[in-house]
Structure 1
C-alpha cells in the first residue's frame, strides 16, 4: 500500500531574478518551498515571495554550508534540493510524486540532468546524463565535498529516475567567464587552506584532459 509523504523544496539564491521564477514554477506543487537568499540586490526575493512565505536572508557561507542550512529549515519527509538555474521536467514531476509514495528501500534518487548552453542542449561528453542526487529523505542526506561544488551523501540506498532535470547554468558568454573566474578563485582558496598546491604539469595537463573528456 502506498503512503503519502511530504516534500520540501530547498533552494539557495543570489541575484537570480532572470531564472528563479521558472525554478519555482516547477516545484509549486510541493508541500513546502524554502528559499535562503544571500541579500540579493535585484528582484529575486520579491519573486520568491510570490511562491512561498518561507524566504530567509543569510550571508553567503559557501555553497555546501548554505545548502545544508536550508535543509535544516525543512519540516517535510523528503528534501528536493535544487539550484536556482534548475527546473523539473513534467515527466520528472510525475516520477517524483510516485517515488515518494512508493520509495521501496531507497533513501535518495538521482536525476539525469540535461544542461542547456545558450538555449541548446549539450548532450555529449560529460554533459549528459550527468546524474545528480537531488531527492532524498530528510534525515538521510546532506551536502558534502569541496566548494564551490559539492554533492549529496546518502546514508542508505539510492535509485535513478528516468526523466530529466533541466539545467540552465550560463545566461550568456560573459556570465560563463565570470562564473568560471569566481569558481577558480574559490577553489584556489580551498587548496591554500588545505595547504595543497599545483605543479606546472598539473596546471597544463588537467585543463587539457578535461577539454578532451568533455568535448
Structure 2
C-alpha cells in the first residue's frame, strides 16, 4: 500500500538561523508544507519560500489559535505539526512511511520520541524526553486547545502509537534564550490563570520550585543525564516559581489598585 499523504505545518517567527535544517528534512517528503510566519523581521519567510509556495504572513493570536489557523489549511487527513527547532531524521521518516503504509492502521495519533538537546547533549529523561503526538489524523473535529501557550491537541477517541526513532529537538540557542523562553511562558500562563480568577502566593511559588525540581531530577530520572539533567531540573524549578510568583504579583497589583488611597478616603 502507498504511504498515506501528509500535510505538514510550522508556525514561525525570526527563525532564519535554524529553520533550514528543519525544512531540508521535510521538502520532497511531505505532500504539503505550510508555513505561517507571524511577522518575522529577519529573512525567515524568504528562506521558507525556497522550500514551499505555501508561506503565509499573519498576525500573532497565540499558539493555539495560530496552530488551528494552519490546521485549517491542511489538505490531507494525516497532519505533521513541527516547530522550527525540530529536525526529522531519515530513520524517522522511513519509520513513518512504513506505519502510514499499513493497510489496517487503527491509530489516529503517532507519538514521536523527543530527543531534546541542552548545551550539546541530549536529555534522555524527564519532561523534555516525553514522546510527542506530532503526527495525527485530522478528522472528527481535531483541533488545538485555544490557549496562548502549551496548546494541547484535542482529538476524539485518541488511539496513540509511539514510534521508535527520535525527533531531534534543539529548543534553546543559549542560556539567555532558555531563560527568556521559560520566563515568557510562565508570565503568559500566570496571566491566563489570573483571568480565570486563580490566585497565587510567594510561599506557594517557593514550594513549587522545590517540588518541580525534585520531580524532574529525582522522580523522572533527570540525575541520569548528568550536568545537563541537573541544569534542566533547576530551570524547571525556576519555571514553576516564576509562574506562581507572576500570578502572586498580578494579585498584589490588583489588590493595590482596588484599595482606596488615603487621599481618596479622607
1:196 to 198, 210, 214: 198
Cross-structure match for 2:248: none
**Alpha-carbon distance between aligned partners in 1 of 2:192 and 2:7, rounded to the nearest angstrom:** 31
Alignment length (residue pairs): 213
Higher helix share: 2
* Matches for 1:4-23 after TM superposition, within 5 Å: 4-23=3-22
State the partner residue of 2:160: 158
TM-score (norm. length: structure 2): 0.76
TM superposition shift of 1:125: 2.9
- Structure with the bigger RCO (C-alpha within 8 Å, sep 6+) is 1
Partner of 1:31 in structure 2? 31
Q: Which residue of 2 aligns with 1:72?
A: 72
**1:200 to partner: Cα distance:** 3.3
| Inter-CA distance 40–208: structure 2 relative to 1 (3 Å threshold) | same
Distance 2:184 2:44 in 1: 21
Bigger drift between 55-64 and 144-153 goes to: 144-153
Aligned partners of 1:125 and 1:39: how far apart in 2? 33
Deviates more, 1:6-15 or 1:141-150: 141-150
Aligned to 2:215: 213
Q: Give distance in 2, aligned partners of 1:26 and 1:16.
A: 16
* Shift in CA distance, 50/76, structure 1 to aligned 2, threshold 3 Å: same
How far apart, CA to CA, are the structure 1 residues paired with 2:151 and 2:131? 13
Residue 49 of structure 1 aligns with which residue?
A: 49
Gaps of 5+ in 1: none
Q: Contact 1:6–1:31 at 8 Å: present in 2 too?
A: yes
* Alignment partners' CA distance in 1, 2:163 and 2:148: 26
- Runs of 5+ consecutive residues of structure 2 not aligned to the other structure: 218-266
1:183 maps to 2:182? no
What is the DSSP-based 3-state SS (H/G/I as helix, E as strand, rest coil) of the residue aligned with 2:46?
Answer: helix
Give 1 or 2 for the bigger CA radius of gyration: 2
- Structure number with higher strand proportion: 1
Question: CA–CA distance in 2 between the matches of 1:127 and 1:184?
Answer: 17
| Deviation per residue, 1:63-118 (Å, 9 max, x gap) | 11111110111111210001111111221111111122216111111111000012
Deviations 1:167-202 (A, max 9, x none): 101000111121122112211111121111213332
